[in-house]
Amino acid sequence: MSDWKTICAVADIPVLGARRVQRAQGPQVALFRTVDDQVFALLDRCPHKAGPLSQGIVFGKAVACPLHNWTIALDSGCAREPDEGATPTFTVRVEEGQVLLNQHELDTIAIELQPVKAGPCARAC
């Protein structure tokens, strides 16, 4: 049995954009594609205020959080100075144009955190 799960084709991720991966528990994982077709995976949660990184602007090998413009490095998940903190990363493999993530990491990393909720209020506000 393989520890790798096929998620999507590289072409399914917008250039300089993101695609979210739903998990059974915890926040979603965000896949990011750079202009040179490198693919990175981060927890879809900024270390600052839990903003959805998948909705941020990708530039170079970083993403700007849509809430407060923190810059997060795609390769390490670390916030760039002067900000501090990090979001978990996930190992990515690309084989024959397909993006694969490690199933063990998907099942274990940051599953105790609440998923980020975007959109209208889910309860009576």
Structural domain contains residue 97: yes
Give the HSE-up count for residue 70: Cα atoms under 13 Å, Cβ half-sphere.
25
- The CA–CA distances, whole Å, from 76 to 38, 73, 121 equal 14, 6, 32
Structural domain contains residue 120: no
CATH number assigned to the domain comprising residue 92? 2.102.10.10
pTM: 0.89
Rounded Cα distance between 93 and 77, Å, is 17
Note the pLDDT tens digit of each residue in 58-69: 999 999 999 999
Domain region containing 100? 4-108
Residues 45 and 51 sit within 8 Å (Cβ to Cβ): yes
Give the amino acid at 72.
I
Structural domain contains residue 115: no
pLDDT of residue 16: 96
Structural domain contains residue 100: yes
Structural domain contains residue 118: no
Structural domain contains residue 121: no
Structural domain contains residue 42: yes
Strand partners, 19: 31
3-state secondary structure the chain: CCCEEEEEEHHHCCCCEEEEECCCCCCCEEEEECCCCCEEEEECCCCCCCCCHHHCEEECCEEECCCCCCEEECCCCEECCCCCCECCEECEEEECCEEEEEHHHHHHCCCCCCCCCCCCCCCCC
Structural domain contains residue 117: no
Note the pLDDT tens digit of each residue in 25-65: 999 999 999 999 999 999 999 999 989 999 999 999 999 99
Domain count, the chain: 1
